Amino acid sequence: MNPPLFTESFLLPPGFRSAGVHAGIKADPAKSDMALIVSDVQDTVVAGMFTTNKIQAAPVKMGIETCKTGRARAVIVNSGNANACTGKQGVLDAQEMAEKTAGLLGLSADEVLVSSTGSIGKPMNMPPVRQGIAMLSEALSAEGGADTAKAIMTTDTRPKMCSTTIVVDGKTVTIGGCCKGAGMIEPNMATMLSYICTDAKIEAADLREALKTAVSRSFNKISIDGDTSTNDSVICFANGGADNDSLNPDHPDWVLFQTALNGVIFDLAMKIVWDGEGMTKFIELQAQGAVSDQEADKALRAIANSFLVKTGMAGTYPAWSRMVDVLGYCGVDIDVDKLSIWYDELPILIDSTPALPDAEALKKILHSNRYTVRLDLGTGGAGEAVLYTCDCTEEYVRINMF
């Protein structure tokens, strides 16, 4: 098979329309704050993955129920207020958003998903939200992808989009996606919203499995600050318009479809890391030699969530010694005499003894804006993992102080 080619756009497949507008939730009129994505095809299926946080924003609770049915045709999104920790009124507000959107689109309320992102614990300001829904229903367009990607941003510095097309059964299948997220980001999702639209024909259950696989390798492998939000949602619509034979694991092009979906979602996840609040460096952490993949993953998350490691990465402090410190307290099986660490391919520590690498070579890596740190936990086990993270700078603190 030919590998899919990816473009930095939120390409809407035929049968989808979307829009993004400034409704007035954010004070700055230059910043759009509401978005709407609609599938015009009756038989559209949906799959969704949501935060694992026990505290779930009102729209997330509704979305989980809707996605169980596998049926939805639209998602209405606001940025600027997460509608989380807002009590009973928050539930009523989210319901009203779904109902009002459904009314204008001729849908039933249970076909409309709702997403909110922004500050937690503030009551929704509904008058601009109501106005925004009306504006969006007028602005819907087949070319609305970029506007949508912009409208869902909060502390993001740029919209995040990725699309691809593949050929299945001789039919062109488009997968277009966008996402937002820059802080309060850890695995198991984050203050992270992502919307994927495809015209592939696929049953809801198969779409759910494909989405789960793609998310496990992407959004669930990134960490900005270790904080898992109340609102994370990844929603994937498939409207079947490409009219391919229905995709499932027995279809000859299933791997191609999964690869394409993985690619779009992985690219979106990496864009989140590259736009991490205040970040200046993209770090790929790899663990090997753990007793299990779970232990390897646990070690990397502890490292990625260490204040000292992340602030060290922001400068030129060779944070490997702080990583060793984390390995010692994070509760994962290690052999304290057989730890090894490489920065890119440069050995730093071998069998727990400093390798005293060439200072210039190490300096060059520490000054670059992207490098890999590989850690061997020394147990001789086959457990391994990867995690994508970034440094923690003074700018991160400034962004989150107020």
Active site positions, annotated? 191
Q: How far apart are alpha carbons 228 and 222 in whole angstroms?
A: 11
Q: Please state the closest distance from residue 392 (CB atom) to its own copies, in A.
A: 7
> Which listed residue (135, 211, 326, 375) binds its own copies by CB under 8 A?
326
- Kindly write out the interface string for residues 289-318 of this chain, putting x where it contacts its own copies by CB under 8 A and - elsewhere: ----------------xxxx--xx-xxxxx
Answer yes or no whether residue 325 interacts with its own copies by CB under 8 A. Answer: yes
Q: Are 291 and 36 in contact (CB under 8 A)?
A: no
Q: How far apart are alpha carbons 238 and 217 in whole angstroms?
A: 21
Answer yes or no whether residue 220 interacts with its own copies by CB under 8 A. Answer: no
- What are the φ/ψ torsions at residue 264 (nearest 5 degrees)? -60, -45
Give the residue among 162, 150, 78 at the shortest CA–CA distance from 113.
78
> Which listed residue (14, 127, 252, 354) binds its own copies by CB under 8 A?
354
Residues near 5 by beta carbon (within 8 Å), at least 6 away in sequence: 164, 165
Answer yes or no whether residue 328 interacts with its own copies by CB under 8 A. Answer: yes
CB atoms within 10 A of CB 14: 13
Q: Which is nearer to its own copies, 257 or 396 (CB)?
A: 396
Q: Please state the closest distance from residue 87 (CB atom) to its own copies, in A.
A: 4
* Residue 396 parent element (H or E): helix 394-401
Q: Please state the closest distance from residue 56 (CB atom) to its own copies, in A.
A: 8
Give the residue among 123, 145, 122 at the shortest CA–CA distance from 35.
145
Q: Please state the closest distance from residue 51 (CB atom) to its own copies, in A.
A: 8
Answer yes or no whether residue 322 interacts with its own copies by CB under 8 A. Answer: yes
Q: Which is nearer to its own copies, 143 or 307 (CB)?
A: 307
Locate 239 and state its tokens. Answer: 């409207």
Answer yes or no whether residue 119 interacts with its own copies by CB under 8 A. Answer: yes
Q: Where are the beta strands (DSSP E) in 57-170?
A: 74-81, 112-119, 160-168
* Residue 180 parent element (H or E): strand 171-180
Q: Which is nearer to its own copies, 129 or 314 (CB)?
A: 314
387 forms bridges with which residues in the sheet? 285
234 forms bridges with which residues in the sheet? 49, 194
Q: Rounded to an integer, what is the distance from CA 222 to the centroid of its chain?
A: 8
Q: Which stretches of 152-248 are DSSP H helices?
A: 204-216
Site for its own copies in 164-183 (CB under 8 A): 183
- Kindly write out the interface string for residues 122-151 of this chain, putting x where it contacts its own copies by CB under 8 A and - elsewhere: xx----------------------------
CA dihedral over 326, 298, 178, 58, signed as positive or negative: negative
Locate 137 and state its tokens. Answer: 């229903």
> Which listed residue (59, 128, 226, 240) binds its own copies by CB under 8 A?
226
Binding piece for its own copies, criterion CB under 8 A, among 16-24, 30-38, 166-174, 220-228: 220-228
- Kindly write out the interface string for residues 248-277 of this chain, putting x where it contacts its own copies by CB under 8 A and - elsewhere: ------------------------------
CA dihedral over 31, 34, 39, 40, signed as positive or negative: negative
Q: Which is nearer to its own copies, 56 or 288 (CB)?
A: 56
Site for its own copies in 74-93 (CB under 8 A): 84-88
- Which positions lie near its own copies, rule CB under 8 A? 52-56, 84-88, 119-123, 183-184, 186, 188, 225-230, 305-308, 311-312, 314-318, 320-322, 324-329, 334, 336, 349, 352-354, 392-394, 396-402
